[in-house]
A = this chain, B = another copy of it.
Amino acid sequence: MTIKAGSSVIKLSTKGNDEVVDLTPDVDRIVGEFGLREGVVTVFVDGSTAAVTTIEYEPGLVADVQGFLRNLAPAGDWHHNETWGDGNGHSHIKAGLIGPSLTIPVIAGKMTLGTWQQIVYIDSDIKARSRRVIVQLTGETE
């Protein structure tokens, strides 16, 4: 079998303040459309105030993640806010700590996620934003 590389983009409009979006259905669809059988999918946020990771996507845990992040890096007097006056220094801190990239293996055409494990996008900015999540695929195709 030959190896191919390709990519797709998910467009998102979110309200910020640690909004959590489940990207799993979109990434699943992209893996299927590409026909990836054995390889990896990289999910990447092209911005510095949002991040990707995996959690169990259910409302209680989403509220826990939001409360945890707000406590970890609260809004306030960050130096970044003096630079731009945009008040989102804490957004950058949270996103940089979680990180913008996630790489997931694909075996026999399916991502190797656990049953209660979803790919989530966390928008920690302080106002509504439109952003892109890039989904890159490398591996053997059908």
A27 to chain B, nearest CB (A): 13
Do B65 and A96 have beta carbons less than 8 Å apart? yes
Query: For the side of the interface on A, what is the size category?
Result: 35 or more
Choose from B40, B46, B135 the contact partner of A114 (Cβ within 8 Å): B46
A5 contacts chain B at the CB level, 8 A cutoff: yes
Q: Contacts A3-B5, A54-B48 known; A39 to B138 CB distance under 8 Å?
A: yes
A83 contacts chain B at the CB level, 8 A cutoff: yes
- Give the number of times this chain occurs in the complex, counting copies: 3
A25 contacts chain B at the CB level, 8 A cutoff: no
A73 contacts chain B at the CB level, 8 A cutoff: yes
Do A46 and B112 have beta carbons less than 8 Å apart? yes
A35 contacts chain B at the CB level, 8 A cutoff: no
Do B140 and A5 have beta carbons less than 8 Å apart? yes
Interface residues of A (CB under 8 A from B): 3-7, 38-40, 42, 44-48, 53-56, 58-61, 63-65, 67-68, 73, 78-84, 89, 92-93, 96-107, 112-114, 116-118, 131-132, 134-136, 138-140
